[in-house]
Amino acid sequence: MKRILINIAKETGKLLEEQFDLDHSREIHKIKEKFAVDLSTKTDILAESFIIQKIKESGIACTILSEEIGKIDLGSEERKFYVDPLDGTMNFYNRIPIYGTMIALEENNEIKMGVICIPITKELIFAEKNKGTFINNKEVEVRRRNTLDEAIIDFDYAWYGDKKSVDVYLNCVADKQTRRFGCIGFQYSLLAGGKIDGIVCNWSTPQDMSPGKIIVEESGGKFIDFNGNQWHTKSENAIIASPLIADQLLEKIRD
């Protein structure tokens, strides 16, 4: 299973890279309803079809839950693949080369494996339950900064126009070093590899979060929601960070 996931991610990453400079790949397939700034390109659909076909060819009994097409039943509800074929679509569309592909494997309601491919950095990030997180075959772990004053935090915030979202954001970012990269898979790589200290999202989808959950947890981080509970596929938000930083971010959000 590990080899299948890694090979699919690598091949999809290569496909995305090939499509990046093609004009037709920028054509908008549809505008999603959730956010006005979220869109889907022909490359999203192409990459998704490629991944689905590869999973079908493997003969694995499973259910695929993909960002564009939704649910595909291939004979088992106990094993699920969560697929984000093109993570960072807005970057891709605007010729910002920070994008990737992500897949997670869930068995019996537990995330067992996650893989991310980021073409621009030539990184393949893989994690397996109780076996650690690896970037290009090198084991990695989150860095252990003690306070938010020392930390670099990525705020991946979707603006709903409500005062609460604005207040939470401003309370967290005051006097902090913050970033936003527009590609959650890239952010997981930075966090697991010890280059940033946390990620805060006021949104959540299983396809975007499931690969990161095991990658971050297996590198020593925490993956919780705004209530301090363990993140799950129905969670609406996420705090993703090294343990001490996650606890401090949670306090800020609760204030």
Strand 70-87 vs strand 100-107: parallel, antiparallel, or unpaired?
antiparallel
Q: How far apart are CA 150 and CA 62, in angstroms?
A: 43
Write the secondary structure of the chain as one string of H (helix), E (strand) and C (coil): CHHHHHHHHHHHHHHHHHHCCCHHHHCEEEECCCCCCCEEEHHHHHHHHHHHHHHHHHCCCEEEEECCCEEEEEEEEEEEEEEEEEECHHHHHCCCCCCEEEEEEEECCEEEEEEEEEHHHCEEEEEECCCEEEECCEEECCCCCCCHHHCEEEEECCCCCCHHHHHHHHHHHCCCEEECCCCHHHHHHHHHCCCCCEEEECCCCHHHHHHHHHHHHHCCCEEECCCCCECCCCCCCEEEECHHHHHHHHHHHHC
Query: 234 burial class (0-12, 13-18, 19+ CB within 10 angstroms)?
Result: exposed
pTM of the model as a whole: 0.91
Same-domain pairing of 136 and 152: no
Same-domain pairing of 155 and 240: yes
Same-domain pairing of 190 and 216: yes
- The neighbour count for residue 68, using CB atoms within 10 Å, is 20
Q: Which of 122, 140, 158 is the last residue of a domain?
A: 140
Q: What is the CATH number of the domain that holds 26?
A: 3.30.540.10
Same-domain pairing of 90 and 162: no
Same-domain pairing of 177 and 248: yes
Q: What is the CATH number of the domain that holds 173?
A: 3.40.190.80
Q: Are 102 and 114 in contact (CB under 8 A)?
A: yes
Q: Which of 93, 119, 140 is the last residue of a domain?
A: 140
Q: What is the structure's pLDDT at 31? A: 44
Same-domain pairing of 154 and 131: no
Same-domain pairing of 158 and 200: yes
Q: Which of 81, 110, 140 is the last residue of a domain?
A: 140
Using only C-alpha atoms, what is the Rg of the chain?
17
Same-domain pairing of 128 and 14: yes
Instruction: Name the residue range of residue 106's domain.
Output: 2-140
Structure tokens at 108: 């019996």
Q: Helices 206-218 and 184-192: crossing angle, nearest 10°? A: 10
**Chain segment 115-143, per-residue pLDDT in tens:** 999 999 999 999 999 999 999 999 999 99
Q: Print pLDDT tens along the chain (255 aa).
A: 999 999 999 999 999 999 998 755 556 554 444 444 567 788 999 999 999 999 999 999 999 999 888 999 999 999 999 999 999 998 998 889 999 999 999 999 999 999 999 999 999 999 999 999 999 999 999 999 989 888 999 988 766 555 666 666 666 665 567 788 999 999 999 999 999 999 999 889 999 999 999 999 999 999 999 999 999 999 999 999 999 999 999 998 887
Same-domain pairing of 222 and 167: yes
Where do we find the tokens 């609460």?
Answer: 164
Domain count, the chain: 2
Same-domain pairing of 125 and 245: no
In this structure, which amino acid lies at residue 70? Answer: G
**Do you know the residue count of the chain?**
255
Same-domain pairing of 82 and 202: no
* Closest C-alpha among 86, 66, 99 to residue 183: 99
Same-domain pairing of 6 and 28: yes
Give phi and psi for 103, each to the nearest 5: -140, 140
